[in-house]
Each structure stands twice: as C-alpha cells, then as structure tokens.
Amino acid sequence: MRRRFLGLTAAVAAFGMTAVLSGCGGESGSGDVTLKLVAADYDIAGGSSTKTYWHNVVEDFEKKNPNIKVDVQIFSWDVVDAKVAEMVKAGNAPDIAQIGAYSDYASSGKLYSVDQLLSIPVEANFLSPLADAGNVKRVQYGMPFVASTRLLFYNQTLFEQAHIKPPTTWAEIASDAKALKAKGVKTPFALPLGSEEAQAETMMWMLSDNGGYTNTVDGYDIDSPENIQAFDWLKANLVEPELTGPVAPGKLNRQDAFDAFAKGEVGMLNGHPSLMEAAKKKGIKFGMVPLPGQNGQAKAAMGVADWIMGFKQGGHRAQIGKFLDFTFSDANVLKFADQYDLLPSTVSASSAMAADPKHKELKPFLAALPTSELPPVGKTSWPKVSETVKKKIGSAVAPGGSPKSVLQDIAKVAMDAENAE
C-alpha cells in the first residue's frame, strides 16, 4: 500500500528528492554481487532519516556479508512506484523494491515468492493478516514492510464540555455528534470521503457493519446489504443532520481532517498512529477507541501495510533472501516502526513493542492489528477499484445521492476489472 494507505503525506514535490546510498564499493570479484534496492522516503519533513536508516542497515549487513554489496536509491512516495515501473519496463528491475504495490509484478511472473527468499523462521514471523494480504492466488509474494491500523479518535476536552462518553455503537456516535454540535463544535464527526483516501474510510465503515470489499471466498462484494446499510446510516444520521462539518464528505481529504482535529475543530474521526503526534504537538487531549459497529465493536479494524519484494530479473535469489532475512530482524523492524510511529509487521517485534512502556499509546493499535482486515491488495484489479471508490463514494452520501446505486456502480467496475485479469 502506498503512502496514501498509511496516511502519511509526501512532503516533497512531485519530482521529489532522490537519494542514493552506495555500499562499500562495486563488485570486486567474480564471487561478489551488488544488489539494487529502491525504497520509499518516509520522512514527511523532508529530512534524511530514511536515508540514514537504510545506510545503517546496509553498513551492518555488509560487515557480516562482505561478498554482497547493496546500493540503495530512495525516492519520494510521489514517484517511487512510477520509478520502479519505469525500471521494470526498461528491463532494469531492481533486485529489491520497497513500494506501495506488488500484485501486478507477481501476476506477471516478475517476483520471487516469499518462500523462495526467506528462511522459515522469518517467513513464519509475519502477522497473519499481513502475510495473507501479500498473497496472489494463495502464494505470498509481497512482504509487509511496515503496518498500521485505524481507531476512532475523539477530542477529550470537547467531550468533557459536552458531558458525553466515547461511543460504543453507531447510535452513540450520532448522539455524541449532536451533543458536540449543540456546543458549537465546527465538525462533530469528520468523514473524509475525498479523493485522497476515501477507499480506506469506506472500508472502515463497511467493516463496522460486518461487511467489506470482499466476501469469504475473496470475491468482490461491494454492494452487499451490509455495505449499503452502512452508507444509508451515514447519510441519514451524520451527513443529512449536518454533523460532518462545513466541508462535504466527498470533498474532505484525510489530511485536512487530521489537520482540523489537531486544531481542536473536530470531535471525532478515524485515525492512525501518526495523528497522535500531530495532536500532541498542538496540545490536543485525545482518546482512542475501536470504531463502533451498529450494535457494538466492529468485526475488525482496517489494517494497512507497505510492501517489499524481490525481483527475479537479476537472478540474485540467495543474496536477496539473505539481505531480507537481515532486514526483518527485530532490531531493524522496531527501529523503523518507532522512527515513524508505525507498527511492526512481525509477531516478535510487535510483542516487543507492546511490552515497552514508551510505546503504551500504541498498544490499542497493536492489539487491533493481529485480527485486522486489509484491502484486497493482492488483486491486480484493486488499483482500478480503489480509484473508482475515491471518485464515486462521496456522492453516495451527497444530497440526492443513493448509497445503493453508487455501490452497485462500483461493484460493476470491480466485476469488470476482475474478469479482465
């Protein structure tokens, strides 16, 4: 998943900064191999922290493996997927890519499967929802590099002023939002269904009514009765009573909603771990609870992941596997997750983070991740479906809009895209 799934906004221009880290030299003999790694830049402040992270990983790895060098190129999230696509098209695929999507490359036979690369202990250490999301036709190709999940954030100060408690059901969301509006809160419940990340907000509400993008046999089920009911409820109980603020949900982007929450203008919204730091920097007191369902807690939180993969073209299977085994050590996984307020993708690193008192605020996110559900990123049709959701879902809750009709339209696009695979 791209930066838009983790909800981190690229802080560089569209032709963003690129950085190149070299190993300790080129190939120095017939037994030496130089791996090419392309990675995404997670430093939203435009600094060099991602570059430094990979430099340290490569330096430590090369000390232990002197016959394997690693050259790293870092690109902004704005361009990294396109850069890798260009390299692959030109017949110059990197050995390893840490980017937003893997399914197209897997489906076209360009990637090693995970069991061809990783040692058994490392392969078995991924959290199961993340490992499952890395599958294409029941074979894992995408390795979850870093993860996140979502919880319902609420402004504690505004809740205390309105004499309300965090919601546990849909009805309580609506009643809390009404109480916040009565106290003059600008946006009682922020519902970002704009183009930036509508596919994620949509999935959260689907899950809250025991629905989702797919059914139990992994076929699309976008216009299911549960999904229609969820958006009917949103329209009737939050949007039409004007509890979602001055910007129409279809025009509200996630980052704008987060910024407004950090300014104290939003009572409730769905958020991920990085919102904690933004809110704390602005002095906002907040709490977090699982997103309520119609009659209680939703069946699952929405999980998200970014991916790392190994390309076949260079023929360096053994060396790629050795480097990835090293990359997924607890020390490396924890350092990266800690640096960017994200969640580890492995069982052992997640347990270590949960046991560390300095990460106590992340515990609700960590607790939600092992049973989370991810978007169907293993489907090569998913990018088309995701873009369609972003374009259309806001109209489902707009004046005169029909959730059923909009979801049926999206379902047809999904079916056509699936049949075209």
Separation CA 206–CA 147 (nearest Å): 20
Over 80: is that where the pLDDT of 44 sits? Answer: no
Separation CA 17–CA 47 (nearest Å): 10
Over 50: is that where the pLDDT of 21 sits? Answer: yes
Over 60: is that where the pLDDT of 214 sits? Answer: yes
Residue with tokens 């085994």: 325
Separation CA 136–CA 100 (nearest Å): 15
pLDDT tens digits for range 257-281: 999 999 999 999 999 998 998 899 9
Separation CA 386–CA 103 (nearest Å): 14
DSSP-derived pairing of the beta strands 266-271 and 187-189 = parallel
Query: Which pLDDT score is estimated for 31?
Result: 61
pLDDT tens digits for range 372-384: 999 999 999 999 9
pTM of structure: 0.85
Q: Answer with the residue of higher pLDDT: 151 or 298.
A: 151
Tokens of 281: 């920097």
What 3-state class would DSSP assign to 264?
coil
Average pLDDT value over all residues in the chain: 91
Query: Which pLDDT score is estimated for 217?
Result: 80
142: DSSP letter:
P
Tokens of 165: 């408690």
Hey, CA dihedral for 111, 117, 123, 127, is it positive or negative? negative
- By C-alpha distance, which of 142, 64, 156 is closest to 102? 142
Check: CB of residue 46 under 8 Å from CB of residue 12.
yes
Query: Which pLDDT score is estimated for 218?
Result: 79
Query: Which pLDDT score is estimated for 46?
Result: 76
Measured between alpha carbons, how far is residue 198 from residues 118, 191, 349 in Å?
34, 9, 30
Over 90: is that where the pLDDT of 30 sits? Answer: no
What 3-state class would DSSP assign to 329?
coil
Residue with tokens 């990085």: 274
What is the pLDDT confidence band of residue 16, given thresholds at 50, 70 and 90?
A: very low
Domains defined along the chain, listed by start? 3-148+304-371 (3.40.190.10), 151-300+381-419 (3.40.190.10)
Separation CA 162–CA 178 (nearest Å): 10
What number of other Cβ atoms are within 10 A of residue 337's Cβ?
A: 24
Mean pLDDT of 54-66: 97
* Orientation of helix 49-64 relative to helix 317-327, angle to 10°: 120
pLDDT tens digits for range 123-151: 999 999 999 999 999 999 999 999 999 99
Separation CA 237–CA 231 (nearest Å): 10
Read off the amino acid at residue 260.
A
Lowest mean pLDDT among 15-24, 82-91, 235-244: 15-24
Query: Which pLDDT score is estimated for 145?
Result: 97
Separation CA 220–CA 49 (nearest Å): 39
